[in-house]
Structure 1
Amino acid sequence: MTTATVTPAAASSTGALRYQSGFGNQFSTESVPGALPQGRNSPQKAPFALYPELVSGSAFTAPRHENLRTWLYRRQPSVVSGRYQPYAQAAWTTGAAGGAAMPPDPMRWAPFPLPEAPTDFVDGLRTVVANGDAEMQAGMGALVYAANVSMERRALVDADGELLVVPQQGRLVLTTEMGVLEVAPGEIALVPRGIAFKVGLPDGPSRGYVCENYGAHFRLPELGPIGSNGLANPRDFQAPVAAAEEGEGGYEIVKKFGGRLWRADMAQSPFNVVAWHGNLAPLKYDTKNFMVIGSISFDHPDPSIFTVLTSPSDTPGTANCDFVIFPPRWLVQEDTFRPPWYHRNMMSEFMGLVYGEYDAKAEGFRPGGASLHNCMVPHGPDEASFEKASASHLQPQKLDGTLAFMFESRYRFVPTAYALQDSTQGGVRDPNYPDCWQGLGDQFKQA
């Protein structure tokens, strides 16, 4: 682990945002020089009469390399808030228990619609599929968000899991307790469990995907024989600098806790952290910096080579959740069917498309949509993609202008009732998705 220290003034606009570099670093940042205590975490009187507050992202006794914590120095502690009451947002469900029975069919969804009525990020979240149990800290939920207004005097806190946000349409400005991140399509954001944030929409109506990870925190995958460099490099992750929100006025705090949403009033802004240090922090990452590994001889490698982040389970090598991307890359294999092969997988796969086309699906899989191939559900290239790839003249080919991703989990995904609705029921599920393979006939030819 390395240490990064910056002492900037709070940025006045998103165009002037400054960041700290590194995944898992011990960061140190203050928006007012001298606000960070020196040589101790909790002095009898903190500088500028700030309140020290510790946020623990792991058990105190977790191994040092897995221990996550950050010290915040804030104008008021977060304990100063009103009592929580239930908040009605039925579309955000949690775990397998919030889903519906489904057959073992492949599923695909058209782009999820943008709202017509004023809807912010909190109210625009919908669970599509989920697995596991947040109470047991295992599994994840795959959600979509569709919003058209910014969160103003409102903040969201998720105590059930960390949130991995994948914008598909429109930039997001994430104001967090630790500072501000701007995240555009092609980038991702990671918000730790329990950290307050709000979402601004500088481009207007916006849409994207969210992984709510109930399990072990996301980390960089092991590289094995790849060596010391490759895939997502730690230095390309960016954390915010301290930037306490100016101005007076209260906030509504919406908290996800125990699979339900709750609300409370807070007389002050939760974004009142003047300085902080530690290794538990929101992060952003530009997928253009992903160093793609691929075959330069023959065959299509396993898709695990595209893993950006992984949340491990209690079984080594078998993830609670992997976040995988399929970015622009060169295809150069000889005598090889270059798209992904036909597959039945012990792991369950939820896919989304940020932009462009996915090489295994020439039609039907569109940006803003999604697909699901659960444990042992057969899937692979559709008929058109198979015919094209089987007959193509194999020259070096650049797959460009594309970004698909996958949330892959050891636990079977259970779709919500909303996700099962097709176009005849007001939903966007494609009931004819399995038809894309029906033209793949028996072509066996004996010599």
Structure 2
Amino acid sequence: MADELNYQHGFRNHFSTEALPGALPEGQNSPQKCAYGLYAEQLTGSAFTAPRHQNLRSWLYRIRPSVVQSAYRPLENHQVHTSPLDKPAADPNQMRWDPAPLPDEPTDFIDGLLTIAVNGDAGAQTGVGVHVYAFNQDMTDRFFYTADGEMLFVPQLGTLRLRTEFGEIEVDNGEIAVIPRGVKFQVRKGQNVDAARGYICENYGSPVELPGLGPIGANGLANPRDFQSPVAAYEDVEGDFSLVAKFSGRFWETRLGHSPLDVVAWHGNYAPYKYNLAHFNTINTVSFDHPDPSIFTVLTSASDTPGVANLDFVIFPPRWMVAENTFRPPWFHRNMMSEFMGLIHGEYDAKAEGFLPGGASLHNCMSPHGPDAETFDKASNAELKPQYLADTLAFMFESRYVYHPTEAALATEYRQRDYVDVWSTLRSNFTPEQR
């Protein structure tokens, strides 16, 4: 594969790309004989009979078909989990974690994954799994795919180089990438990166899409043209390789005598993509009151209930705060939706300390949360002049389903077991004798 990466622009456009001239057939998908002796293979991300605007599929023209592999055998992995969980039970307590420590021993992406929480039922294609990763070694002879859902990558430390069947994607801090369900890939560090850390949302439900804009109109939030998918690139390499599959919550391994990244050409609308969060056109109030976080939605996964998301990926980017006569940070609230939050860099305006880049918090359905005592006092007495929040980039994986933390996440040493104390000094300011 070439060192220089090229991209095609647009959100789920029907792309056509070839690494060799004439590798794509003309006028049909599966000719009797493909050019260059390639094999035609279709990868579908939706039911065959899905409506045209929701039908996801790509045709791959590859050196060897995917069926050229050994039998799958179970592979032990006790750090990655999928819903539903037998135990522990979901917990209404507010939870927070420090950043996951970087590994001391050589650790690749697969071995550096840890599941924080899951919800829904992957077998029924509902809900999500939330993982963190920390690794310091490239995947070289191992490849990976998950049949349980698509993977939304949110890097926090270190650039990622995602080597996929469709081509390569480099994902920097402040960018995200989505690898569709079933796509084979490797994860490597970017140039001059010693270790990488970040978050992943494994979406078991309907594939994420751009949210409707409603009264906002035609423009705003994430623009389709700012999404990028890779152009075709391939490697024709023989050797002893491992393909690890995540299937129905378990890990499986098969052996390959060749690299599976051997797609010479492809066309379709089911492909990996990335997006630079700096391109998000933030909408905010210019009068009073703090808006609901839904106005910061980048991508959404619909559930069977209109308007109630299986997953909303929401960001809190740099932005102007100009609301008058308003408590500007997020107010105290209890939600029907459950919130997992992470911090990519800087500070989050609802927390004075303790919420660190690479860390995470979890506030489940109807569990109260909001600004800590120090932030409340500061914001209640602040001079309300226009303020630009420059050094901040936080996000939420918000879901209609209750998150079930894993035993490992509850037991890990970097969980903040005293998190609830950040609200302990909030006292009554009630003065009935005066308005």
TMscore range, shorter length: over 0.9
Matched, 1:311 2:311: no
Superposed CA deviations along residues 300-348 of structure 1, whole A, max 9, x for unmatched, are 0000000000010000000001111111000011111000010000000
**Residue 137 of structure 1: which of 125, 148, 154 is its match?**
125
Mapped partners of 2:268, 2:430: distance in 1:
61
Report the counterpart of residue 284 of structure 2 in structure 1.
294
Q: Which residue of 2 aligns with 1:335?
A: 325
Q: 1:321 to 1:99 in 2, by over 3 A?
A: farther
Residue deviations 1:205-225, cap 9 Å, x none? 110000010010000000001
Q: 1:63 aligns with which of 46, 51, 56?
A: 51
Is the Cα contact below 8 Å between 1:418 and 1:427 reproduced in 2? no
Deviation at 1:250, TM superposition (A): 3.2
Shift of 1:395: 0.7
How far the C-alpha of 1:102 sits from its partner, in A, is 4.8
In structure 2, the partner of 1:3 is none
1:259, CA displacement in angstroms?
0.6
TM alignment of 1:116-155, pairs within 5 A: 116-155=104-143
Structure 1 residues 341 and 155, CA, compared in 2 at 3 Å: closer, same or farther? same
Alignment partner, residue 369 of structure 1 = 359
Deviation at 1:418, TM superposition (A): 1.1
Aligned equivalent of 1:435: 421
Q: What is the TM-score normalised by the length of structure 2?
A: 0.98
How many Å separate the matches in 1 of 2:399 and 2:87?
16
Contact 2:240 2:258 in 1 (8 A): yes
Residues in 1 aligned to 2:348 and 2:66: alpha-carbon distance in whole angstroms: 44
Answer yes or no: is 1:41 the counterpart of 2:29. Answer: yes
**Are 1:193 and 2:190 matched, yes or no?**
no
Using the TM superposition, give the Cα deviation of residue 99 of structure 1 relative to its aligned residue in structure 2, in angstroms: 4.5
CA-CA distance at 1:268 after TM superposition: 1.1
CA contact (8 A) 1:99 1:129 kept: no
Task: Report 1:75-114 matches (<5 A).
Answer: 75-97=63-85, 99-114=87-102
2:168 is matched with: 180
Decide which moves more: 248-257 or 65-74.
248-257
One-letter amino acid of the counterpart of residue 60, structure 1: F
- Give 1:366 deviation, angstroms: 0.2
Counterpart amino acid of 1:394?
A: L
Q: CA deviation at 1:103?
A: 3.6
The amino acid that maps onto 1:145 is Y
Residue type at the aligned position of 1:174: L
Q: Distance in 1 between matches of 2:41 and 2:176?
A: 27
SS in 2 for 1:96: coil
What is the CA-CA distance between 1:288 and the residue it aligns to? 0.3
| Whole-angstrom distance in 2 between the partners of 1:31 and 1:248 | 19
Partners of 2:364 and 2:209 lie apart in 1 by 24
Partner of 1:325: 315
Alignment-mate amino acid for residue 56 of structure 1: T
In 2, Cα distance between the equivalents of 1:247 and 1:197? 15
Q: Is the 8 A contact 2:116 2:408 kept in 1?
A: yes
Aligned 1:396-407 pairs, distance under 5 A: 396-407=386-397
Q: Alpha-carbon deviation of 1:96?
A: 3.2
What residue number does 1:352 align with? 342
Aligned residues: 431
Cα offset for 1:120?
A: 0.5
Deviations 1:413-444 (A, max 9, x none): 000011112xxxx5211111111111111101
Structure 1 unaligned spans of 5+:
1-9
Question: 1:182-236, CA deviations, whole angstroms, 9 ceiling, x for partnerless residues?
Answer: 0011100100000000001131211000001001000000000111111011001
Distance (whole Å) between structure 2 residues aligned to residue 219 and residue 103 of structure 1: 30
Question: Post-superposition, which runs of at least 4 consecutive aligned residues in structure 1 deviate over 4 A?
Answer: none
Q: Is residue 419 from structure 1 mapped to residue 409 from structure 2 by the alignment?
A: yes
Q: Measure, in 2, the Cα distance between the counterparts of 1:174 and 1:70.
A: 19
Residues 1:52 and 2:35 are matched in the alignment: no
Contact 1:73–1:273 (Cα < 8 Å) also in 2: yes
Structure 2 CA distance, aligned partners of 1:201 and 1:285? 18
Deviations 1:242-265 (A, max 9, x none): 000243323200000011000010
Residues 44, 112 of structure 1: alpha-carbon distance in 2 compared, 3 angstrom cutoff: same
1:337 maps to amino acid: F
Instruction: List gaps (5 residues or longer) in structure 2.
Output: none
Tell me the equivalent position of 1:228: 218
Task: Give 1:378's aligned residue.
Answer: 368
Q: Which amino acid in 2 is paired with 1:45?
A: K
Structure 1, 98-107 or 45-54: larger mean CA deviation: 98-107
How far apart, in 2, do the equivalents of 1:385 and 1:23 lie? Answer: 38
**Offset at residue 89 of structure 1 (A):** 1.2
Q: In the aligned structure 2, how far is the partner of 1:366 from the partner of 1:154?
A: 32
In structure 1, C-alpha distance between the alignment counterparts of 2:11 and 2:85, rounded to whole Å: 33
Residues 136-161 of structure 1, C-alpha deviations (whole Å, 9 max, x = no match):
00000010001010000110010010
Equivalents in 2 of 1:39, 1:68: separation in Å?
Answer: 19
**Counterparts of 1:305 and 1:123, CA distance in 2:** 36
Distance 2:240 2:152 in 1: 27
Q: CA RMSD in A?
A: 0.9
SS in 2 for 1:267: strand
Aligned mates of 1:96, 1:345 — CA distance in 2? 22
Helix, strand or coil at the partner of 2:384:
coil
Deviations 1:61-112 (A, max 9, x none): 0011100000000000001000111111110000131551254110000111
